[in-house]
Amino acid sequence: MSGTLKSLRALSDPTRLRIVALLERSELSVNELQEITRMGQSRISTHLGLLQDSGLLESRREGKRTFYKISPLADELSREFVQLAIRGAKELPEASADQLNLKRIIVRRSQAQELYFNQVAGRFDRSYGPGRSWQAFGQLLLRLIPNITVADLGSGEGLLSELLARRAKKVIAVDNSERMVAFGAAKAKKNKLKNLEFRLGDLENPPIDSNSVDLVVLSQALHHAADPEKTIRSAYNILRPGGQLMILDLLEHTFDKARELYGDRWLGFPEGTLHRWLENAGFKKIEVTVVAREEQPPHFQSILAGGEK
């Protein structure tokens, strides 16, 4: 089969068009392409093999990972095919999500954050040490909170708010349950936390003045929101310039019983969707990273997203 026919065959599939468009922007590993496209490793590898066999891609090994990129040695005709593939990929329904996910991957890679936390987690559980626990580490890290004003949206009974209030200048805990707000306020009073205030309100329109807080926290709360994107816009509104939003939530999953068991409105969120919502709201320095995976079924994964106003 001629090189021209091989190239045409290689670019005859929409998935391979997506891959070419992504690799035109950046060299990527198989795992990164999996994360961006939401496809399995064997499927990705098959498509990459066809593209490489046609001469459009080249690969290199780095440890246990293989990285792919558009071949710089491709002839003029192959380069024309690549440009046509990129144009075609832009017309696919997945184009927008692919580019957002690619942007997130590039930011994360530059900060090397995922590798760092994986290494920390690996060392943490390697050997027993008296007093070594995530609970203890969490308490230590909370002591590093500066003298700032924090809004804890969807606070529930206020466990996180209480911990934050022991160091922050002021914490405003917002929840839409009168019972939760009453319970949290009573507990704050009992513990003499005068800088912790509970307010009744919705995530989408929290009862907090614009430009009045330094940090907004949404801890496992966004998937309960009626309108998650509006919630993120509201968080942007109440932040002072330079303030930060931190979202800890679930990665998109298929455990539908979560609606019945936990009252969840949303079955988690894709990384790309959170990135787009943060970007549309006006946030800068956006980071979206999967930070934990439960060992027991249904293997919920936690995602940490953040941005700066």
Helix (H, G, I), strand (E, B) or coil at 307: strand
Q: Pull the structure tokens for residue 163.
A: 């911990």
Judge whether residue 192 has pLDDT over 90: yes
**Contact predicate 239/245, CB 8 Å:** yes
The C-alpha atoms of residue 181 and residue 164 are separated, in whole angstroms, by 17
CA–CA distances in Å: residue 17 to residues 13, 14, 77, 143, 270: 7, 5, 16, 49, 22
User: What mean pLDDT is predicted for residues 124-145?
Assistant: 71
Residue 271 dihedral angles phi and psi, to the nearest 5°: -60, -40
**CATH of 114-308 among 3.40.50.300, 2.60.40.10, 3.40.50.150, 3.40.50.2300:** 3.40.50.150
State the DSSP code for 64. T
Q: What is the pLDDT of residue 137?
A: 74
For CATH 3.40.50.150, list the domain ranges present in the chain. 114-308
Judge whether residue 306 has pLDDT over 70: yes
**Contact predicate 70/82, CB 8 Å:** yes
Write the pLDDT tens digit of every residue in 222-236: 999 999 999 999 999
pLDDT band at 114 (very low <50, low <70, confident <90, very high): low
For CATH 1.10.10.10, list the domain ranges present in the chain. 3-91
Judge whether residue 10 has pLDDT over 90: no
Q: What is the pLDDT of residue 129?
A: 60
Judge whether residue 1 has pLDDT over 50: no
Overall pTM surpassing 0.85 (yes/no)? no
pLDDT band at 120 (very low <50, low <70, confident <90, very high): low
Q: Angle of helix 76-89 relative to helix 3-10, nearest 10 degrees? A: 10
The C-alpha atoms of residue 211 and residue 17 are separated, in whole angstroms, by 44
The answer to which of 118-127, 244-253, 275-284 has the lowest mean pLDDT is 118-127
Write the pLDDT tens digit of every residue in 21-37: 999 888 999 999 999 99
Q: What is the pLDDT of residue 240?
A: 97
Judge whether residue 117 has pLDDT over 90: no
List helix spans (H) across 112-202.
113-124, 134-142, 159-165, 178-190
Average pLDDT of the residues of the chain: 88
Write the pLDDT tens digit of every residue in 57-75: 999 888 788 999 998 877 7
The C-alpha atoms of residue 137 and residue 141 are separated, in whole angstroms, by 6
CA–CA distances in Å: residue 286 to residues 96, 131, 172, 244, 289: 17, 34, 24, 10, 10
User: What mean pLDDT is predicted for residues 284-291?
Assistant: 90
**CATH 3.90.650.10 is held by the domain 3-91:** no
Q: What is the pLDDT of residue 91?
A: 93
Judge whether residue 249 has pLDDT over 60: yes
In this structure, the number of other CB atoms found within 10 A of the CB of residue 136 comes to 10
Q: What is the pLDDT of residue 80?
A: 86
215 or 295, which is more confident? 215
The C-alpha atoms of residue 83 and residue 103 are separated, in whole angstroms, by 20
